[in-house]
Amino acid sequence: MATHFTDQNFKKDVLEHKGVALVDFFAEWCGPCRMMAPIIDELATQYSGKAVIGKVNVDDAPATAGTYGVRSIPTIILFKDGEAMETKVGAVSKKDLDDMIKRYL
C-alpha cells in the first residue's frame, strides 16, 4: 500500500528521504485519481525497500500541494534525494511511471 503523506510528514518522509520518492497528488472526488490509485498501490508494493511511493490528498494537505504548484490532479512528482526531478499531470500508465522510477533508481 502507498504511504499517505500530509503537510506534517512530507518534509521528513519525502524531502529528507535519500533516494527515490514518487508522490501522487490526488483528491477523493477526482475520477482519474481513482483510476490511478491501484497503480500507485501496485508500484508501492513493487518498489518496497527501493523507493518510497505515496499519495498526498490535496484537500487535506493544501500547503504541500501549493508548494509544488499542483493545479490539476492527478499530478505525480518524482523526487530524488528531496529534489523534484520529473512531473506527470493526468492519468498515466503504470509502464510510464515504472520507467520514470527506473531512471532514477
Catalytic residues: 30, 33
Q: At what angle do helices 31-46 and 94-104 cross, to 10 degrees?
A: 50
Phi, psi angle pair for 79, to nearest 5°: -110, 140
